[in-house]
A and B are shown apart, each in its own frame.
Chain A
C-alpha cells in the first residue's frame, strides 16, 4: 500500500515571465530539514524505492528561480556546494515565494552537499549553505546506486560505479536456502 505518490505541486512555472532573465547557473542558499513526505517514506522503510527518490531526491525551488534556469517540475538539476555535488529533481515549492533559497529534504541526496563542520558544537551545519543550481541531463540516482556512487565502500578497484548495473529497488543479499 502506498500513501504517497508525489507531493501535489501545480505547474505554475512561467517561462515567459518578463521579470526574469535567463541564467545558466543560480547562486542560492540551501536549507535542508524534514518534510512530511520524506518522513513518511523513510520511516515506512521504503528507502530503496523510486518513491524515496521522488520525495528526498528533490530540490524545492521558487517558481521564478525555476523560470530563470528554464527547468520544469521533475526535471533534473545539479546542486553544487563546497562539499560536493548531487543531481536532484527540481520542483515548485509549496512555501513559495522564497527566491534565492532552495530546500532539499534530509536524506542521502542532501547529505552530499551539506557541511560536516560542527564548529565544536557536535551539530553539523545542515542549514544556510551556499550552493549553486544548474540544469543537467543526468538522471537522479536511486538510493542504493547513490550510496555506491558517492561512498564506493564495496566497489572493487578498477570498477567505475557509474558504469555498473543499477542495484534496483529491492534488497539484494545471498540467502542460505535458495527457493
Chain B
C-alpha cells in the first residue's frame, strides 16, 4: 500500500463519533470535515475508515423505478413512494428484510407498517447469528459487557471468528491489548487463544492456536466438557486434536481468574448450527463451577443486535416475526427469510439497509427474480441489480443521528457529522412515508 500523507486540509473535526460498521461500535472516531464532505477519519480501523470515506460514484442519490425495458429510471420522490406503497399494499405475503444498518428510530415505523399489512419482519441475524439466538433460548446467556473483559479477563478465546479481519479493533479496544484495572500490563497479563481450523490472522497473534478439523467444533467442545466433569477421554484424537492437548487446555481454562469466550459465524454456519452454540454455552456454564467464564457472540453489523433487542422488547420474539395472522408468530425454519424465499412464498420483498444480493445464497436469490423488490439503501450494490424500486436513504452515524446497540447490548447514541445530500431522505422518514401511503390505500379500498 502506498504511503498517504496525513490530511491537513479540513474545516473542522467532529470528535467522538460512533463508527457504523461492525458490532464493536467504536465511539471514539474523529471525522475530518471540509465543505460538508468527509475528507479524513481518525482512530477508525481499515473497515470503519473505508465505510465513512464512502465511494461517492456509487452513492444512491435519487429515487428510481424500473421502466418497461427493465432499466432504472430516475423519478421524483412521490412517484417512487407511491409505487412502493402500491406494491406493499397489494401484497399477500410481503417480507421486510434488513434493518441492521439503520437506527432503532427507523425500526419503529417499520414495525407499525409490518403489523398493518401482515408482513414478515426479519433482519440479518437470520443469516448470521440466528442459531445463536436459538441456542440462547435453549440454554441461557452468560453475558457480560466488554468493559468487564477489558478490566478483568486473563484468558480470551476466539472461536469460529476472525476479529482481525471482521472486527479489527475488538482486540485492541476491548479484550486483549488494553490495560485494565486488574490487568495492568495489558497484553502481557492475558492469554489469547484461537480455536479455528484456519491459521487465520487472529490465530497468528495468539498464544495458543487449536486447529481442530472442519465441522469439529461440536466434538471438541464436548471433549473439554467431559474432561471438566472428570471423565477419561477414550479416543487418542478428538476432532483432530490429541487428547493430552485437550486435557492441558482444560487445565489452563480452569486455572484462569476470568475467561471470556467469543464466537462467530464459524460455529453457526456449519452443519451443527445452533447445537454448536448450545454446547459452547454449556461449556461456559460448566467452567463456572471452577472459575468465572463469560461468552459473547461477535455480532457483525453495528445494529444487528439492536434489531433483536428492539423486536424482543416490542413483540417478544427476536427476528423472523410473522404478522400474517394479525398477531406476532415466530417459527425458525418457517417464518425466516431464507426459508420463505426457498419455498417461493413471499410476493413482495422490501430490503432496507441490507444487501441480500451480496449475501444470500443463489438458490434463495432466484426467487427475487420473480417478485418485485423494493430497496432502501445508500449505495448501488448487488441488490440494486435486482431491485424494482430504489429509495436512497442517509448514512446513520455520519449524516443522520440515531441509536444503535453494541454487540454486548450497550445502547449508543450515534451523532451526525455532516448534512445528507439534498435529494436523499432519512430511513425513518422513508418508512414513515410508506406507512402513511399504505394506510391511505388500505382505507380507500375499504
Residue ranges of A at the interface with B (Cβ–Cβ < 8 Å): 1, 3-5, 29, 31, 33-36, 39-49, 83-84, 94-98, 101, 103, 106-108, 111-128, 143-144, 147-148, 150-156, 170-176
Contact = CB atoms under 8 A, between A and B. Distances in A.
A175 B76 CA distance: 11
Given A33-B265, A43-B47, A47-B382, A121 B363 contact: no
Contact of B385 (A98, A118, A120, A144): A144
Contact of A123 (B199, B273, B384): B273
B50 A127 contact: no
Nearest to B363: A116
Contacts of A36: 46-47, 164-166, 168, 201
B49 interface: yes
B199 A98 contact: yes
Interface in B103-136: 126-128, 130-131, 134
B199 A147 contact: no
A164 B166 CA distance: 37
Nearest to A145: B385
Nearest to A176: B74
Contacts of A31: 198, 214
A124 B50 contact: no
A101 B214 contact: yes
25 contacts: A5-B1, A31-B214, A34-B300, A36-B47, A42-B381, A45-B380, A46-B58, A83-B363, A103-B198, A108-B357, A111-B358, A112-B362, A114-B362, A115-B361, A116-B360, A116-B362, A117-B363, A118-B333, A118-B342, A120-B332, A124-B364, A127-B265, A127-B269, A147-B386, A150-B362
A151 B369 contact: yes
Interface of B: 1, 4, 21, 46-47, 49-51, 53-55, 57-59, 62, 64, 66-67, 69-76, 126-128, 130-131, 134, 162, 164-166, 168, 197-201, 203, 214-215, 265-266, 268-271, 273-274, 300, 320, 332-333, 336-339, 341-342, 355, 357-366, 368-369, 378-382, 384-386
B271 A122 contact: no
A121 to B, nearest CB: 4
B127 A123 contact: yes
A156 B168 contact: no
B127 A45 contact: no
Contacts of A144: 385
B33 to A, nearest CB: 16
A116 B270 contact: no
Counting chain B CB atoms within 10 Å of each CB, which of A119, A151, A170 scores highest?
Answer: A151
Contacts of B58: 45-48, 170-171
A95 B199 CA distance: 5
B379 A47 contact: yes
A8 to B, nearest CB: 8
Nearest to B134: A121
A176 B64 CA distance: 10
A153 B371 CA distance: 10
Contacts of A122: 126-127, 130-131, 134, 320, 332-333, 336-339
Contact of B66 (A5, A107, A123, A154): A154
A116 to B, nearest CB: 3
A131 B166 CA distance: 25
Contacts of A4: 1
A49 B369 CA distance: 23
Nearest to A121: B273
Contacts of A143: 382, 385
Nearest to B49: A3
Contacts of B384: 171
Given A122-B333, A148-B385, A171-B57, A128 B214 contact: yes
Contacts of B72: 172-174
A45 to B, nearest CB: 3
A29 B386 contact: no
Given A1-B53, A36-B46, A47-B381, A126 B265 contact: yes
Contacts of A174: 67, 71-74
B46 A3 contact: yes
Contacts of B365: 111, 151
Counting chain A CB atoms within 10 Å of each CB, which of B55, B197, B266 scores highest?
Answer: B55
A31 B196 CA distance: 13
B362 A41 contact: no
Given A123-B131, A174-B71, A44 B336 contact: no
Counting chain A CB atoms within 10 Å of each CB, which of B333, B360, B380 scores highest?
Answer: B380
A118 B122 CA distance: 15
Given A5-B1, A153-B385, A111 B214 contact: no
Contacts of B386: 147, 151, 153
Contacts of B131: 121-123
A39 B337 CA distance: 23
A177 B53 CA distance: 28
B165 A115 contact: no
Contact of B357 (A41, A126, A147): A147
